Structure 1
Amino acid sequence: MSLTEDERLNLLYEASILDTPPTTEFDAIVRLACNIFNMPMALVSFVDEQRQWFKAQQGFTLKEASREHSFCGHVVETGLPLVVEDAGKDSRFWENTFVNECSVQFYAGVPLLEGETCYGSFCVLDTKTRRFGDRDLEQLRNLASVVVGLIREHRQQSQLKEQQRELELKQARFEQTERSAKVGGFEMDLSTGTIIWSDQIYRTVGLPVGKRMTSEEVIGCYAPEERDGVRRRIRGLLNGSEIGVDKEYRIITPEGEERWIRVVSDIEHLHGEPKRLFGIVQDVSEKVRYEQRLLQAANADPLTGLANRAAYNAHMERLTATDAASIGLLLVDVDRLKQVNDILGHATGDLLLKGVASRLDERLGKRGKVFRLGGDEFSVVLDAPANARVMRSLARHLIEYIGRPLEVAGSTINPTITVGGAISEGEMDAATLSQNADFALYHAKETRRGSYVQYEPSLRSRIAHRIQIVREVELALTEHRMVPHYQPIVSCADGQVWAFEALVRMQRPDGSVVSAAQFHEAFTDSSVSHHITTCMLDHVATDICKWMDRGLSFGRVGINVSASDFMRGDLESRIVGAFASRGIPLDKLVLEVTETVFLQGLEDTVATTLQRLRKRGLAVALDDFGTGYASLTHLRSLPVDIIKIDKSFIDTMLVDESSLAIVELVLNLARKLDMKVTAEGVESHRQAMCLLEMGCTTLQGYLFNKPMDREHVGSYLSASKPHCTEISGESRTGLLLFG
């Protein structure tokens, strides 16, 4: 059943978003929309009874406009997307403010829907007519879902502020009530032990008014943990060793209700001897519960219910201050949370975090305490003294348990976590222990995501070295010192160059050239890796264009790509942009992908991207085959044209039967799957002869040539002349090697 207009307006007003100041998040989404659709104008428009008010706008100076004849009003009234490709021809909007005052000709808007509630419209506009297809409309809907998430977050924040105001108001009312409240009085004859209570005290402790009370019955009103202290106090009062008190106690009523009382007492002396204890009892349960709620709010994460960063800091300070032995700390990072948020929405991301938090807490049990530090990061502090073996075992157990499929908002997600751990040593403070665990987590995320890394002192220097390498590569990219070198791949059929592999090299300021192996740490930085690929695509496209102009026959050129290239979703457009702008067909390109790319939880994304590129003529090579964890699975499910056998197997196949067996297995498998095979790292004639006899398709290695710069590729192609090599005294047709 759809909402009435009055119900819709009430829900809009309850969101408390109308006439609020601009925010960076809403402003960013309209700028993003303009960039995506190449439009000059975009709006987040909320429609009330008389007007449309703009929470965020790009390309406009208006803050609001009349609802009458408005595009956004039409979207709200119908609850459907609206595309007006030429407003000048649409009589519905001839009197529209945007059309008349801002020269708007094009409009595309989708409703901002949360359930059945339509708050307004998210739209893009242009001063010229244009087309807007189904894919464009779907992108606009996706952006609108982000806007709805921002509205939901704004409403939640407003509600939290309102609740805080309510708590403050309740506290003020409580304090007023406390000042005017009647409290119960009591007295105790210290010579006889006789106790007298007022009616209010009986009501406070939940006993019948007027019941005669003995000392033990009074003690029985208190909570179990309070009783020994009260008993000692009464004995001290009777023998004259105790004085008055002002203290709060927990009590339990006969019905089992928990309450707190404040006892204020003094002693009356007669002739220098204690005669009578007297005082008041005040029920302070509401105050204590309020303080507990505030404490919980200050120390609990509102999403997961776990203790938060403030509680974590206090807990760690307490542990280290007491010189606790061998404190074990695990820092846990939820992998790919941003992807879940971007693809499935922040609500699903929140449910994923709650699921991970629940599993962490459940599986840890009484062995320690779990905290949510914020975002995608949790910490686990062990109660018992820790050692490296226990930490490693627990971390692996948590990784395995949390990695089980999780049903979230109708989707099945396989959560993965990365864990870094550290153990306190000597008088180590909380900050140092946390920093050590953070170093371990950082190293795990950069090198072994989805696994556990234990802190060791060398990590500091390794991370510092990695940071230095990343900075060097960033500078080299800025100064255009990242260049390709090309290594030939020869065909076993005729000995001719079948392809080249483009390998990235860094030119240092002094002119020396270093291979990727010397700056491989930089590839763990997704931004740097992304920029390296962009740089290589541009260089390779330029070089291929020159070779084609010279009429050189070079076959194809292989380019290596990483997981970060697929994560951003723009790899296809970058490749097409670099090569199409130079008129180069994609059948000149081989995309080399290692198995590790498929082990990042991106298998579907990678497969879809590669399949689209293959339809354009590009070939796909599975690089370093055999060194991953699921090679055969990948061959079955992924679009692969070429298998490249890793150099480690070629190095040892002449002396290690297992390596030789793996090479034979790959070659046999490739024949049945109709795939080409390239053997990497061929450095001797014996290796080449053996591979040729087994039917290898192509060879690559120092036997034929080391990677060369672009200037030497032309001369190499001109100089390369195959000649026949005999095997066992016999000339074998089709077995050709470069000399």
Structure 2
Amino acid sequence: MSLSEDERLNLLHQASILDTPPTEEFDAIVRLACSVFDMPMALVSFVDGDRQWFKAEHGLFLKETPREHSFCSHIVQTKSPLVVENADKDSRFSGNTFVRERSVRFYAGVPLSEGETCYGSFCVLDTKNRRFGDRDIEQLRSLARVVVGLIREHRQQSLLREQQRELELKQARFEQTERSAKVGGFEMDLSTGTIIWSDQIYRTVGLPVGKRMTSEEVIGCYAPEERESVRRRIGDVLNGSGAGIDREYRIVTPEGEERWIRVVSDIERLNGEPSRLFGIVQDVSEKVRYEQRLLQAANVDSLTGLANRAAYNAHMERLTAADAPSIGLLLIDVDRLKQVNDILGHATGDLLLKGVASRLDERLGKRGKVFRLGGDEFSVVLDAPASVRRMGSLARHLIEYIGRPLQVAGSTINPTITVGGAISEGMMDAATLSQNADFALYHAKETRRGSYVHYEPSLRSRIARRIQIVREVEAALTEHRMVPHYQPIVGSADGQVWAFEALVRMQRPDGSIVSAAQFHEAFTDPSVTHHITTRMLEQVAVDIRSWIDRGLEFGRVGLNISASDFMRGDLETRIVAAFASRGIPLDKLVLEVTETVFLQGLEDTVATTLQRLRKKGLTVALDDFGTGYASLTHLRSLPVDIIKIDKSFIDTMLVDESSLAIVELVLNLARKLDMKVTAEGVESHRQAMCLLEMGCNTLQGYLFAKPMGRERVGEYLCARKTSVTEKADRPQEEPRLLG
């Protein structure tokens, strides 16, 4: 089956000989042909699509000519020898380039064939007519076979060169892949211990490429904590008990750089015996560092640098799962962070948190680990077995140390923290331990803010009761069952009603009335307290409007205000809205503020708000005076008009000289500061007479009346006015209390 011209040309091009430089072997053949046949010219001609190209030529001095009218093209077409004895007379070739330009008159050529492929011809030429017999043709064929052999060798060499180039390219690509993937191959001959590494492994471990390696030198590349396990693994492989692995290791380069590698290996066996350990080593340092950064981001608080809640949860789970003995847990709340954020800005609040975190970490040292749980919450997990005494001592130490003045963004802040603690018992899980400490912290914040409370089982019932009471109060607020009851404050000299104090009461669904003492736990919830104050302001304003319209002389009405009312920053707006909308002047209102308000770190805010309200006519009373920690300081710094002496001093002043001395001291101080004084809790005539003799202005207590509903205030005022008038009309030998 003959080949088509396209197939022939394709095979010619695959021989990769066209347009290649001259070679000595081909040039020698044409010289030999000229010598053998006594010819001036000889050619090795390859016939391409539209040209004939000469791999070797002698005497012609051409590299190629057009295929049209060429002698060699006829040989390719016929695949047979061609002899032209007189080309000038041959119509086929008279116009040939050789004939016209080179005066060729004689041509004899044979095919250069390999199988069915004819690449071109091997030919001799002369400028004169010649005879060329069968013997000459056969000699020319013999030389042509040598040329075909050279073509075959050239093709093979070209193929080898191409394969070498491809191999070099593959090797370059492999090395490039090794570098980009940071993967290198290794093998170890288990019979000789010879170790072979690719270049990339040397680069990974930081050793010179090609360095001869031994097992011990390989082990030395690993980090100290990894070496023993690597040594055992190599030993197991050598004694036939080892297996392939796929795991990560830490290594340290000779320059001290820390890296991580992944080693994947397997064992080749011959006749059932291990013969070769082989595998790959990949530098996974970037992956490990990225994972470490992700882990850090997931477990480290970005603001303080402390471990975060996720880390805390994991740490607690590990400790409890390991049955660690008596785990000690402190939960810490930074007091008044919201006020700092509201007044000084969140940037300052963040700096405060960072300062607290730094102090906690610094003072705790190696005794445990500090976590930031979020917002203003921190926790401390103690390392050593905990005891109630040691935890209490540590908590108080932290409270004292954290409370030192802290310079934050140009302001001096005295941070305070409240701490709750608990110790694990038996098989207690992490959730229960955390909940116990949370109960203790909750109780501390509600009852003794700025102090430490250790968990005890009774806290659960107390907190449950508090939660229940808060729910009851919230329901009463929703159903408008929080109502004011009024207790009169009378003049000690004439018995006239000077004012009333509005006291909140809760009306149960059955109509019974509950005093504030029975739901006082609800006042620890700032939201509930805020709503109670708003409700009381509205109802007191309604009652005052009613009494004014009826012409009752009630004086003023006192209303208790809590710290949470000042925290919101809207107290002035709420008071003005409740009273102005009903046309009631603010001089009808007395705000009663306890010292606990000032102990919440709000002294400046409270003072500013009260001063603005006083300018609008409102009066300020300092309630429960004498029970706080810094009463005299408050009298100096706060806008106060009235001092209310706490009931505890009135109860004991007739039997306790120190209580009597305190009452006298307060009365003398008030006279010098031009302040009025009200004595609370007056229940006997002897107490009243004693206070009158000491110059107390006004009295309040059960001696005069218990708190009463709004509907009874009118009756009481009328009855009181009649009683006072009748007693005033009676002749008396000496002044006495009008009761």
- Take 2:585 and 2:385, find their aligned partners in 1: how far apart are those partners? 63
Corresponding residue of 1:488: 488
After TM superposition, the structure 1 stretch with the greater mean CA deviation from structure 2, 674-683 or 298-307, is: 298-307
Cα deviation, 1:57-80, whole Å, max 9, x if unaligned, reads: xxxxxxxxxxxxxxxxxxxxxxxx
1:462 and 2:455 aligned? no
Corresponding residue of 1:355: 355
Closer, same or farther: CA 732–242 of 1 in aligned 2, 3 Å: farther
| Structure 2: runs of 5+ lacking an equivalent | 1-175
1:300 and 2:300 aligned? yes
Offset at 1:522?
1.5
Corresponding residue of 1:336: 336
Corresponding residue of 1:86: none
Q: In the alignment, residue 243 of structure 2 is paired with which amino acid?
A: I
The answer to whether the 8 A contact 1:704-1:738 is kept is no
Q: In the alignment, residue 406 of structure 1 is paired with which amino acid?
A: L
Corresponding residue of 1:322: 322
- Take 2:233 and 2:286, find their aligned partners in 1: how far apart are those partners? 26
Corresponding residue of 1:243: 243
Closer, same or farther: CA 265–584 of 1 in aligned 2, 3 Å: closer
The secondary structure found in structure 2 opposite 1:442 is helix
Q: How does 1:589-600 map to 2 (within 5 A)?
A: 589-600=589-600
After TM superposition, the structure 1 stretch with the greater mean CA deviation from structure 2, 204-213 or 700-709, is: 204-213
1:569 and 2:569 aligned? yes
Q: In the alignment, residue 558 of structure 1 is paired with which amino acid?
A: G
- Take 2:535 and 2:202, find their aligned partners in 1: how far apart are those partners? 83
- Take 2:436 and 2:358, find their aligned partners in 1: how far apart are those partners? 26
Q: In the alignment, residue 577 of structure 1 is paired with which amino acid?
A: A
- Take 1:183 and 1:545, find their aligned partners in 2: how far apart are those partners? 88
Cα deviation, 1:384-412, whole Å, max 9, x if unaligned, reads: 22222222222222233223333333333
Offset at 1:367?
1.9
Closer, same or farther: CA 388–180 of 1 in aligned 2, 3 Å: same
1:524 and 2:524 aligned? yes
The answer to whether the 8 A contact 2:494-2:738 is kept is no
1:364 and 2:372 aligned? no
The answer to whether the 8 A contact 1:423-1:433 is kept is yes
Normalising to structure 2: TM-score of the pair?
A: 0.71
- Take 2:271 and 2:552, find their aligned partners in 1: how far apart are those partners? 120
The answer to whether the 8 A contact 1:724-1:731 is kept is no
Q: In the alignment, residue 602 of structure 1 is paired with which amino acid?
A: L
The secondary structure found in structure 1 opposite 2:248 is strand
- Take 1:492 and 1:724, find their aligned partners in 2: how far apart are those partners? 17
- Take 1:709 and 1:527, find their aligned partners in 2: how far apart are those partners? 25
After TM superposition, the structure 1 stretch with the greater mean CA deviation from structure 2, 367-376 or 336-345, is: 336-345
Cα deviation, 1:628-673, whole Å, max 9, x if unaligned, reads: 1211111110011111111111112222232222222222222222
Offset at 1:272?
4.6
- Take 2:531 and 2:326, find their aligned partners in 1: how far apart are those partners? 43
1:690 and 2:693 aligned? no
Corresponding residue of 1:421: 421
The answer to whether the 8 A contact 1:204-1:283 is kept is yes
Instruction: Tell me which structure has the larger Cα radius of gyration.
Output: 2
Q: In the alignment, residue 451 of structure 2 is paired with which amino acid?
A: S
Normalising to structure 1: TM-score of the pair?
A: 0.71
After TM superposition, the structure 1 stretch with the greater mean CA deviation from structure 2, 578-587 or 528-537, is: 578-587
Closer, same or farther: CA 511–184 of 1 in aligned 2, 3 Å: closer
Q: How does 1:495-644 map to 2 (within 5 A)?
A: 495-644=495-644
Consecutive aligned runs of 4 or more in structure 1 exceeding 6 Å deviation: 176-179
Offset at 1:732?
5.4
The answer to whether the 8 A contact 1:330-1:437 is kept is yes
The secondary structure found in structure 1 opposite 2:428 is coil
The secondary structure found in structure 1 opposite 2:498 is strand
- Take 1:177 and 1:482, find their aligned partners in 2: how far apart are those partners? 79
Closer, same or farther: CA 695–355 of 1 in aligned 2, 3 Å: same
The secondary structure found in structure 1 opposite 2:209 is coil
Q: In the alignment, residue 481 of structure 1 is paired with which amino acid?
A: R
Corresponding residue of 1:83: none
- Take 1:481 and 1:186, find their aligned partners in 2: how far apart are those partners? 84
The secondary structure found in structure 1 opposite 2:483 is strand
Offset at 1:191?
4.9
Corresponding residue of 2:99: none
Corresponding residue of 2:208: 208
Offset at 1:237?
3.7
Closer, same or farther: CA 638–278 of 1 in aligned 2, 3 Å: same
The answer to whether the 8 A contact 2:179-2:200 is kept is no
Q: In the alignment, residue 695 of structure 2 is paired with which amino acid?
A: G
The secondary structure found in structure 2 opposite 1:737 is coil
Offset at 1:521?
1.3
Q: In the alignment, residue 381 of structure 2 is paired with which amino acid?
A: V
Corresponding residue of 1:168: none
The answer to whether the 8 A contact 1:246-1:264 is kept is yes
The secondary structure found in structure 2 opposite 1:677 is strand
Aligned residues: 558
Closer, same or farther: CA 182–394 of 1 in aligned 2, 3 Å: closer
The answer to whether the 8 A contact 2:264-2:279 is kept is yes
- Take 2:491 and 2:670, find their aligned partners in 1: how far apart are those partners? 16
- Take 1:287 and 1:573, find their aligned partners in 2: how far apart are those partners? 59
- Take 1:658 and 1:199, find their aligned partners in 2: how far apart are those partners? 93
Cα deviation, 1:10-35, whole Å, max 9, x if unaligned, reads: xxxxxxxxxxxxxxxxxxxxxxxxxx
Closer, same or farther: CA 406–182 of 1 in aligned 2, 3 Å: closer
Offset at 1:324?
1.4
RMSD: 2.6
- Take 1:195 and 1:420, find their aligned partners in 2: how far apart are those partners? 62
Q: How does 1:127-166 map to 2 (within 5 A)?
A: none
The answer to whether the 8 A contact 1:491-1:697 is kept is yes
The secondary structure found in structure 1 opposite 2:251 is strand
Closer, same or farther: CA 496–266 of 1 in aligned 2, 3 Å: same
After TM superposition, the structure 1 stretch with the greater mean CA deviation from structure 2, 645-654 or 428-437, is: 428-437
Corresponding residue of 2:112: none
Corresponding residue of 2:66: none
Corresponding residue of 1:291: 291
Offset at 1:595?
0.5
Cα deviation, 1:279-306, whole Å, max 9, x if unaligned, reads: 3322221121122122222222222222
Q: In the alignment, residue 206 of structure 1 is paired with which amino acid?
A: G
Offset at 1:268?
4.1
Cα deviation, 1:348-401, whole Å, max 9, x if unaligned, reads: 333333333222222222222222222332222222222222222222222332
- Take 1:275 and 1:614, find their aligned partners in 2: how far apart are those partners? 98
The answer to whether the 8 A contact 1:328-1:386 is kept is yes
Q: In the alignment, residue 666 of structure 2 is paired with which amino acid?
A: V
Corresponding residue of 1:137: none
Q: In the alignment, residue 539 of structure 1 is paired with which amino acid?
A: Q
After TM superposition, the structure 1 stretch with the greater mean CA deviation from structure 2, 308-317 or 593-602, is: 308-317
- Take 2:571 and 2:490, find their aligned partners in 1: how far apart are those partners? 28
Q: In the alignment, residue 366 of structure 1 is paired with which amino acid?
A: K
After TM superposition, the structure 1 stretch with the greater mean CA deviation from structure 2, 383-392 or 607-616, is: 383-392
Corresponding residue of 2:408: 408
The secondary structure found in structure 1 opposite 2:386 is coil
| Structure 1: runs of 5+ lacking an equivalent | 1-175
The secondary structure found in structure 2 opposite 1:703 is coil
Closer, same or farther: CA 673–198 of 1 in aligned 2, 3 Å: same
- Take 1:188 and 1:275, find their aligned partners in 2: how far apart are those partners? 9
The answer to whether the 8 A contact 1:722-1:737 is kept is no
The answer to whether the 8 A contact 1:329-1:423 is kept is yes
Offset at 1:680?
0.9
Offset at 1:627?
1.3
- Take 1:332 and 1:542, find their aligned partners in 2: how far apart are those partners? 44
The secondary structure found in structure 2 opposite 1:317 is helix
The answer to whether the 8 A contact 2:184-2:197 is kept is yes
1:258 and 2:241 aligned? no
Quote the sequence identity (%).
89
Cα deviation, 1:484-540, whole Å, max 9, x if unaligned, reads: 222121222323222221111112222211111111111112222122212222222
- Take 1:626 and 1:248, find their aligned partners in 2: how far apart are those partners? 70
Closer, same or farther: CA 249–688 of 1 in aligned 2, 3 Å: same
Cα deviation, 1:106-142, whole Å, max 9, x if unaligned, reads: xxxxxxxxxxxxxxxxxxxxxxxxxxxxxxxxxxxxx
After TM superposition, the structure 1 stretch with the greater mean CA deviation from structure 2, 305-314 or 507-516, is: 305-314
- Take 1:622 and 1:536, find their aligned partners in 2: how far apart are those partners? 19
The secondary structure found in structure 2 opposite 1:593 is strand
The secondary structure found in structure 1 opposite 2:389 is helix
Q: In the alignment, residue 698 of structure 2 is paired with which amino acid?
A: T
Corresponding residue of 1:451: 451
Q: In the alignment, residue 385 of structure 1 is paired with which amino acid?
A: P
